[in-house]
């Protein structure tokens, strides 16, 4: 019998055990556990290659709208550059992935908050076929598309979702734990 998929959730909130963990990490954990995975939560300040041993996949969770402390500590995520396991970055997590792989983090003139319809413009194992979906935004930064990545939704200038061309790395600018939990289930089952 196949064992549970073990997923390491990286909390990128400003401090260990912050209240933001209940809004941005625990809902991801609940969705993945309902999909049959087991999850372990670690703060980004404590993650390294050794702490990731025994996990099958990694999710970089989002943060609160004005919580940008992780941007001052991108070096704490360097382990991602050598990661061979599937990785999903949600909002702040997508920003981290973009920055580490040569993209830019771009401050928006106004925060993006609420439901919006976006176009999935490239079929993928994570988002499925091309179509329009409704997503929930809560972010004050966009990213540029790194060279080795493909836009899955939105445009190349401000992708809503992307994937690495050859590695199992995906990013979402929106929050699937709020709307579209099926995306988290698909990631767990990839």
139 is catalytic: no
Write down the catalytic residue from 13, 23, 91, 160. Answer: 91
91 is catalytic: yes
Q: What token pair was written down for 76?
A: 């704490």
CB-CB contact of 179 with 135 (8 Å): yes
177 is catalytic: yes
CB-CB contact of 124 with 163 (8 Å): yes
* Distance between CA atoms of residues 57 and 35, nearest Å: 14
Parallel, antiparallel, or unpaired for β 38-43 and 6-11?
Answer: parallel
Adjacency order of strands within the sheet including 6-11: 38-43, 6-11, 57-60, 87-90, 169-172, 159-164, 149-154, 105-120, 131-143
Please state, in angstroms and as integers, the Cα–Cα distance from residue 183 to each residue in 65, 67, 109, 125, following that order.
22, 24, 28, 10
List residues with catalytic annotation.
Answer: 91, 175, 177
């Amino acid at each position: 019998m196949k064992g549970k998929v073990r997923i390491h959730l990286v909390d990128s909130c400003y401090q260990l055990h912050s209240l933001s963990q209940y809004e941005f990490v625990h809902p991801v954990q609940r969705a993945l556990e309902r999909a049959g995975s087991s999850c372990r939560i670690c703060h980004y300040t404590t993650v390294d290659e050794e702490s990731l041993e025994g996990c099958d996949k990694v999710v970089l969770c989002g943060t609160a709208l004005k919580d940008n402390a992780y941007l001052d500590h991108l070096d704490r995520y360097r382990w991602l550059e050598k990661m061979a396991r599937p990785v999903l970055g949600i909002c702040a997590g997508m920003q981290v992935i973009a920055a580490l792989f040569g993209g830019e983090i771009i401050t928006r003139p106004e925060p993006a908050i609420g439901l919006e319809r976006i176009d999935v413009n490239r079929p993928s194992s994570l988002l499925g076929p091309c179509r329009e979906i409704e997503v929930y935004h809560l972010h004050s930064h966009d990213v540029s598309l790194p060279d080795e990545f493909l836009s899955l939704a939105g445009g190349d200038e401000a992708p809503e979702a992307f994937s690495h061309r050859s590695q199992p790395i995906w990013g979402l600018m929106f929050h699937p734990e709020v709307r579209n939990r099926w995306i988290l289930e698909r990631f767990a089952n990839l």
